[in-house]
Structure 1
């Protein structure tokens, strides 16, 4: 992450903040579904806006994607994406306890995505003395070109972004989904300044 000029201490602090938020979101999901949720170690890396769709591995007709923008104080903002494989999204009605035809598949996916996104980001924000607001979740067409167009139309302009990928696995249902955060370079610089204040307190 050299382009963001984060020191080793800053990176370690950011990783810990992400871990805490990820754990809270996992716990919320586990309570909501009354089952155990397994977490992999999150991946954090730089990506270029020119290659973002490749970096996210979104293939034609391979996944359902829900996008939700988030906005905080001090220029902290980004895009949260929840990515589901078709075989997993088909299990959502049973997973969420809905009656058949109670909600459309799209509504079910948005419902689950909102829980994960807002829980994670609210905990993330609280740790850096911030507060998040959100755009309405948006169900994206499951094809690569439409996804790429959506990313290009985001309200923030960026060349580089920090990509945080968190994988949730619901063991009782053999269900998996990925939450991917895209944080533009300008927001990472602002987060680094907040992290410095946190580090100074210790």
Structure 2
């Protein structure tokens, strides 16, 4: 993608992938402890997307199934971004079982499960990347983008005025159970310039 060349070199991209590998490993460990289950670690996808490409990124993350999603902004050291966690709706029964949740699986119960998992995954990932770059990120309050919604609803929420962003996609699955979620980290174009300086320092 031509846009990527303007923002990232291959060395920088590789470095972001390594940083993400460490951070998502920490997040997976916390999730595994929460659920007492083995979390399958994926290879993170690092790309530069334009606002108009967001629907394609979300389509790749969610497929055609209905999803529930939480969004949380973060900021620190002149760097800002947004984390979006999307759960395949079929995951909730398995989540409830692993978390030993008792009672009917109402929409409120699903929301509680979604927020608990989002808190673990988003927090650990953001702080894991920040720790390696010596950045302290402050997180905003999580916002529910929708429950049992389709792609067009997520795109409407995600269209927040940026032109280009560094996108880090992490697909988490849990072994032997039907839990499937996607974490999408978006760093604004201005933030990437600052991030790249930090990454270049690591590369030197």
TM superposition score normalised by structure 2: 0.88
Q: Find the residue that maps to 1:162 and give its secondary structure.
A: strand
> What count of residue pairs does the alignment treat as equivalent?
195
Aligned mate of 2:6, from 3, 8, 30 = 3
Native 8 Å contact 2:16 2:46 kept in 1 = no
Q: Find the residue that maps to 1:173 and give its secondary structure.
A: coil
Are 2:167 and 1:160 equivalent residues in the alignment? Answer: no
CA deviation after TM superposition for structure 1 residue 150, in Å: 1.5
1:92 corresponding residue in structure 2: 95
1:39 corresponding residue in structure 2: 41
Q: 1:73-112 residue pairs with structure 2 within 5 A?
A: 73=77, 75-101=78-104, 104-112=109-117
Native 8 Å contact 2:65 2:88 kept in 1 = no
Q: Find the residue that maps to 1:140 and give its secondary structure.
A: strand
Q: Find the residue that maps to 1:172 and give its secondary structure.
A: coil
Q: Find the residue that maps to 1:14 and give its secondary structure.
A: helix
Q: 1:58-69 residue pairs with structure 2 within 5 A?
A: 58=62, 62-69=66-73
Partner Cα separation in structure 1 for residue 144 and residue 162 of structure 2: 23
Native 8 Å contact 2:94 2:178 kept in 1 = no
1:149 corresponding residue in structure 2: 156
Partner Cα separation in structure 1 for residue 150 and residue 179 of structure 2: 21
Structure 1: 5+ residue stretches without partners: none
1:121 corresponding residue in structure 2: 126
109-118 or 45-54, which moves further after superposition?
45-54
Moved over 6 A (4+): none
**CA 1:60–1:169: 2 relative to 1, 3 Å:** closer
1:23 corresponding residue in structure 2: 25
Native 8 Å contact 1:64 1:89 kept in 2 = no
Partner Cα separation in structure 2 for residue 7 and residue 143 of structure 1: 34
Native 8 Å contact 1:95 1:173 kept in 2 = no
TM superposition score normalised by structure 1: 0.88
Partner Cα separation in structure 2 for residue 127 and residue 101 of structure 1: 42
| Root-mean-square deviation over aligned CA pairs | 1.9
